[in-house]
Amino acid sequence: MIANSLFMYIAVGMILFSIGLLGVISRKNIFVIYMSIELMLNAINLIFVALSNYHHDMGSQVMAMLVIAIAAAEAGVFLSLIIVLYRRKKSLDSDIFRTLSQKEAV
Amino acid sequence: MTDILFVLLSFFAIIGALGMVSLHQPVHSALSLILTIIALSGLFALLSASFLFMVQIIIYAGAILTLFIFIIMFLNVKEANLPKEPNKNLTLFLGSLALLPLNFLILRAFYKMPLLTAPLEHDFGKIKPLGMELFTKWLLPFELISILLLVALIGAVVFGRKDEA
């Protein structure tokens, strides 16, 4: 009864998405920010799959697969960026990475 | 039966997500994110998306998060390298208050949706129809994703290279 209503799946997806957004806006640890982005992508995937079941259409499952591929690409770039910045600054504070946006970066 | 499974899986997913946001050490956060990912793969299985269930476990829990934990171990993060967040709980609380109206708005839009009762085709979500869909209707996005993965690979190599000044 609960498990086959679309509303419950959307509710779980929205709660997970909100927790991910919360992590992005209120934490400073760069690793936690990255994991929150992953969590948001996963929540969107859950909503995609629920809508695919609702519409009897497999297109949104294909879309979820594309989102997983994008997450994999993002993981590679983001982790190598973190490694480079950690070697230079020896810190995981996201405020330090503000130098990326300044002209006279050290 | 599926109700109990759904409640348990979503409970574990939300508990893992909350732990991920609120724990201090990055390794603990990554482990609770793995809990969330595996619970979400169970939810995919409940929605009869069997191929995505496998992909979620193999790629997310198996590849991406393992790579992630490997990187955390590799960087050898000490307590002094972590950012100090003295009022973390306060910002988390205020942020969740700020996110309530968005949730309310979206959930109200979906409140009247009917149930998922109509029977599905017997091969819904299996690997063969999904591949047929992917290679006929979604061929162009698939090729673009392959180019994106190539670009990300090159970018990671360029970032990881030692800079000879």
* Distance of alpha carbon B40 from alpha carbon B55, whole angstroms: 12
Stated pTM of the model: 0.90
Tens of pLDDT, residues B102-161: 888 888 888 777 666 667 777 787 888 888 888 999 999 999 999 999 999 999 888 878
| Contact residues, chain B, for A93 at CB < 8 Å | 82-83
Candidates A11, A15, A80; nearest CB to B159:
A80
Segments making up each domain of chain A, as ranges: 6-101
Q: Which CATH code is given to the segment(s) A6-101?
A: 1.10.287.3510
Buried b / exposed e over B100-127, threshold 16 CB at 10 Å, is eeeeeebeeebeeeeebeeeeeeebbee
Interval B25-52 mean pLDDT: 92
CATH fold for domain B1-79: Four Helix Bundle (Hemerythrin (Met), subunit A) (1.20.120)
Interval A15-39 mean pLDDT: 92
What DSSP letter does each residue of A9-58 carry, written as one string? HHHHHHHHHHHHHHHHHH--BHHHHHHHHHHHHHHHHHHHHHHHHHHT-T
Interval A8-36 mean pLDDT: 91
**ipTM at complex level:** 0.89
Tens of pLDDT, residues A45-88: 999 999 888 888 888 999 999 999 999 999 989 988 888 888 88
To the nearest whole Å, the CA of A84 is away from the closest chain B CA by 7
